Amino acid sequence: MTREQAKERISKLRREIDHHRYLYHVLDRQELSDAALDSLKHELFKLEEQFPELVTPDSPTQRVAGAVQKEFRKVRHPSRMFSMEDVFTPEEFGDWHARIAKLLGQPSFEMFCMVKLDGLAISLVYEDGVLKTAATRGDGVYGEDVTANVKTIEAVPLSLRQPTGGEMRAALEVGPPEEVQPRAKLSSFLSSLKGEVEIRGEVYMSKRAFAELNREQKKRGEEVFANPRNAAAGAIRQLDPKITASRKLDFFAWDLVTRVGQGTHTAEWELLRLLGFRTNPNSGAAESIADVAAFWKRMLAHREKLDYWVDGTVIRVADNAAFEQLGVVGKAPRGMIAWKFPAEEATTVVEDVQWFVGRTGALTPVAVVKPTWIGGTTVTHASLHNLDEIRRLDLKIGDTVILYKAGDIIPKVKKALTRLRPKNAREIHEPKKCPVCGSPVSRRPGEVALVCSNRRCYAQETERIIHTAVAFDIIGLGPKNIERFLNEGLIRTPADIFWLKEGDIAALERFGELSAKKIVEEINRKKSVPLERFIIALGIRHVGEETARDLALNFRSLEKFRRAKEEELLAIRDIGEVVAKAIGEFLSDTASQKLINDFLNAGVRVLPAQPAAGLPLADRNFVLTGTLRAMERDEAKRQIRERGGDVSESVSKKTSYVVVGEKPGSKADKAQKLGVKIIGEKEFLAMLRR
The CB density around residue 483, as the number of other CB atoms within 10 Å, is 14
What is the tally of helices (H) and strands (E) in the chain? 26, 26
> CA torsion sign, 542 to 547 to 552 to 555?
negative
Q: What are phi and psi of 383, to 5 degrees?
A: -70, 140
Using an 8 Å Cβ cutoff, are 153 and 82 in contact? Answer: no
Name which of 51, 18, 23 is nearest 129 in CA terms: 18
Q: What are phi and psi of 280, to 5 degrees?
A: -75, 125
Using an 8 Å Cβ cutoff, are 378 and 371 in contact? Answer: yes
Give the relative orientation of helices 289-302 and 90-104 as an angle to the nearest 10 degrees: 140
How far is Cα 325 from Cα 408, in angstroms, rounded to an integer?
A: 31
What are the b/e assignments for 232-244, b being 16+ CB within 10 Å?
bbebbebbebeeb
DSSP secondary structure string for all residues of 66-104: SPPPS-PPEEE-SS-----EEE-SHHHHHHHHHHHHHHH
Strands 196-204 and 120-127: antiparallel
The CB density around residue 297, as the number of other CB atoms within 10 Å, is 12
The CB density around residue 254, as the number of other CB atoms within 10 Å, is 24
For 259, residues 6+ apart whose C-beta sits below 8 A from its C-beta are 320
Strands 400-405 and 344-357: antiparallel
Measured in whole angstroms, the distance separating CA 91 from the mean position of its chain's CA atoms is: 28
**Catalytic residue, candidates 70, 102, 116, 677:** 116
Measured in whole angstroms, the distance separating CA 368 from the mean position of its chain's CA atoms is: 29
Using an 8 Å Cβ cutoff, are 356 and 364 in contact? Answer: yes
116 has catalytic annotation: yes
Name which of 647, 648, 649, 651 is nearest 672 in CA terms: 651
Q: What are phi and psi of 563, to 5 degrees?
A: -105, 10
Positions marked active-site: 116
